Amino acid sequence: MKSKQSGFTLVEIAIVLVIVGLLLGGVLKGQELITSSRAKSLFADKSAVQTAINAYQDRFRALPGDDVNAAGRFTGLACGVQGAGASAVNSGAGQTCWSGSGNGLLGNVAQAARLTAAQGAAITAATAPANEAYLLWQHLRAAQLIKTEGTGPGEIFIQPNSAVNGYTAINSAILYFGQQPSTLYITQYVTPGNVAQAMDAGNDDGFQNRGGIRSVGNGTAAAPNTDAAGTAYLPGNNYNVSTNLL
């Protein structure tokens, strides 16, 4: 006696395939929404810093970081913790907000690597004019226009975290070939390629080597700084995304 064999009908297989397709589409759409949200947050970081700088200039008639009167403008406690260790933090001892040169630009500090707290604590009145790109953050935080990342000595100088686990730096130097002349440039370091692509496409032309937003992959200034052809972002790479600020 033959046993009856049963299997899936074509209709059942089609239904399963449709369900799988819908699930995959939902996952991909969810990833796209997450990337878009992170890109918007990154651009919001830029806008927030720009607003803080404008507010400082309106209030004090000086560029933060370059402010020649910063040393006498703020209380010591607002300018960061002095010394090292818990005793300095607990004592409430403050340090001076170092003044800048007052020339309308930021001293062009190389910022390929993020400042450490120890390096920030080592900035002195004598070295301040050469470190105005770091003084900018001290001045903005002393004016309570942006938050301080930490409370330890020197941390008031550190470039703030970005929305995508990198950091934000500001300078007066043109970093990448083809950028338009400007007083200040903002660069968001260590930005994932998919987020950089979404940010660039949403606010510029989507290419790392063209338009107002310029980027460089993995921190290496190579071919993607010419206008010959559009160079796309690679999802597996990190990029330093730079644009005019003022």
pLDDT one-digit tens code per residue, 152-184: 778 889 999 998 889 999 989 887 777 788 889
- Judge whether 1 lies within some domain: no
pLDDT at 51 over 90: yes
Q: Which residue has the higher pLDDT, 65 or 41?
A: 65
Per-residue pLDDT, averaged over 180-194, amounts to 90
Range of the domain at 127: 57-160
Measured CA distances, 70 to 13, 102, 109, 147, 202 (Å): 72, 10, 19, 18, 37
The 10 Å CB-count burial string (b at 16+, else e) for 99-114 is bbbeeebbbebebeee
- Judge whether 25 lies within some domain: no
- Judge whether 149 lies within some domain: yes
Which pLDDT value is given to residue 236? 86
pLDDT at 138 over 90: yes
User: Looking at the 3D structure of the chain, how many domains does it have?
Assistant: 1
Which pLDDT value is given to residue 178? 74
Which of 101-105, 124-128, 207-211, 218-222 is least confident? 218-222
Which of 5-14, 33-42, 53-62, 120-129 is least confident? 5-14
The burial class, CB within 10 Å (0-12 / 13-18 / 19+), for 95 is buried
How many angstroms separate the CA atoms of 224 and 217, rounded? 8
Tokens standing for 103? 């020339």
pLDDT at 195 over 90: yes
Q: Which residue has the higher pLDDT, 21 or 80?
A: 80
- Judge whether 222 lies within some domain: no
Contact 217, 234 (CB under 8 A): yes
**Beta carbons within 8 Å of 201's beta carbon, 6+ residues apart:** none
pLDDT at 228 over 70: no
Using DSSP's 3-state secondary structure scheme, residue 86 falls into helix
- Judge whether 215 lies within some domain: no
- Compute and round to an integer the Cα radius of gyration of the chain: 24
- Judge whether 166 lies within some domain: no
pLDDT at 91 over 70: no
Q: Which residue has the higher pLDDT, 153 or 128?
A: 128
**Beta carbons within 8 Å of 79's beta carbon, 6+ residues apart:** 94, 95, 96, 97, 138, 142, 156
- 3-state DSSP helix/strand/coil percent for the chain, to nearest 5? 40, 10, 50
Contact 192, 186 (CB under 8 A): no
Handedness of CA 112, 192, 230, 186 (dihedral sign): negative
pLDDT at 31 over 80: no
Instruction: Give 32's pLDDT tier (boundaries 50, 70, 90).
Output: low
- Judge whether 182 lies within some domain: no
Per-residue pLDDT, averaged over 74-101, amounts to 69
- Judge whether 138 lies within some domain: yes
Which pLDDT value is given to residue 220? 47
Handedness of CA 128, 119, 157, 239 (dihedral sign): positive
